[in-house]
Amino acid sequence: MSTRALRRLVSVALLSGLCASPFVLGVPRAALAADDATDGYTRGQALFHERKFREAIVALDPYIAAHPRDARALVLRGDAKADLNENEAALKDYNTAIGIAPEYQYAYVTRCETRLQLDDVTGALADCNEAVRLDASDALAREDRGDVHFDREAYALALDDYDKAIELGRSSAYVFAARCDAERLVGKRDRARADCEKALSIDPKSRRGLWARGRLGIVETRYTDGIADLNAYIAQNPKASDTAYYFRGLAYNRISSFRNALDDLTVYVERQEKESAKPDPDGYRERAVARYGIGDKPGALADLDLALKGYRKDGNSSEVEHVTAMVKAIGLGRPPSP
């Protein structure tokens, strides 16, 4: 189950408590009491708990048609759509719910998550800020805002929010893994090690935990450890592991396993060329090391030429100098220094 689904399953229990609030629902409580035992909302909630998200939407559609101002039902349907990766449709339900109940705190939390999925980082941050304003004790809002800050590369701010989320009671493998990643990026590696181990003790298959511990291992030059964690990470979802192929390839290069490095870095480079309007020059630079390592000098020089073009286009003068030095090293019959 995805992390988002786990979060939303927990949120349904919270939403059910909102039945007591006529402001949140937008209709008098008495008007709903008669149907609560049998209506589509109750069925939709049960189906959501069973992770039958499509069936939950089918149950909720007629209920919402009959109760168009029930904000909790709109949010629940939005959550089901989000867990089916129908994020634009989910966003419409959240927007409608917030229009009906502008103080509905959880609606901002879940819209924050969805906006982040849609790469609307500014909107996501605004929503998470509002959620925290409405309830500063909401651990999930803090965790989600940490994710937004992490995406913005504001790692110190992300770490502050993850710390607060854990202090407020969040205890999932995800939040400890996310904090491990943030700690690595701000240089707090001792704390990072403990959090990664905590994450994977809670869930040994946690993808975020495997990623975070794998990256930490590589940063600490424990390349074999890093490769082992990235192996497990990639195995769970090879199609959604592009960056992991890059870092595993880098780690293979550092232990002179050049054939394995070449395989991984070729996957990374080819996916970047196919899926990105701006291929990553780091991939070409690192693949050049692997190609030289297996004796393919022309291939290494061709990759370094592509890396140079990318770095020049980015205005990255330090990497231009680095790659130029790698080209010179090959010309002198020496291995290029990655």
Of 67, 102, 137, the position where a domain reaches its end is: 102
Q: Identify whether 25 is part of a domain.
A: yes
Comparing CA positions, the residue from 146, 138, 133, 199 lying closest to residue 169 is: 138
Of 75, 102, 129, the position where a domain reaches its end is: 102
In which domain, by residue range, is 19 found? 1-102
Please check the confidence at residue 24 and state whether its pLDDT lies above 90.
no
Mean pLDDT of 7-14: 51
Please check the confidence at residue 38 and state whether its pLDDT lies above 60.
no
**Percent of the chain scored above 70 by pLDDT?**
89
Q: Identify whether 20 is part of a domain.
A: yes
Q: Identify whether 96 is part of a domain.
A: yes
Query: What is the predicted pLDDT for the residue at 7?
Result: 55
Residues 314-331 pLDDT 10s: 999 999 999 999 999 999
Question: pLDDT band at residue 9, thresholds of 50, 70 and 90?
Answer: low
For residues 147 and 3, which has the higher predicted lDDT (pLDDT)? Answer: 147
Residues 60-112 pLDDT 10s: 999 999 999 999 999 999 999 999 999 999 999 999 999 999 999 999 999 99
Residues 144-186 pLDDT 10s: 999 999 999 999 999 999 999 999 999 999 999 999 999 999 9
Q: Which CATH number does the domain housing residue 35 bear?
A: 1.25.40.10
Residues 220-260 pLDDT 10s: 999 999 999 999 999 999 999 999 999 999 999 999 999 99
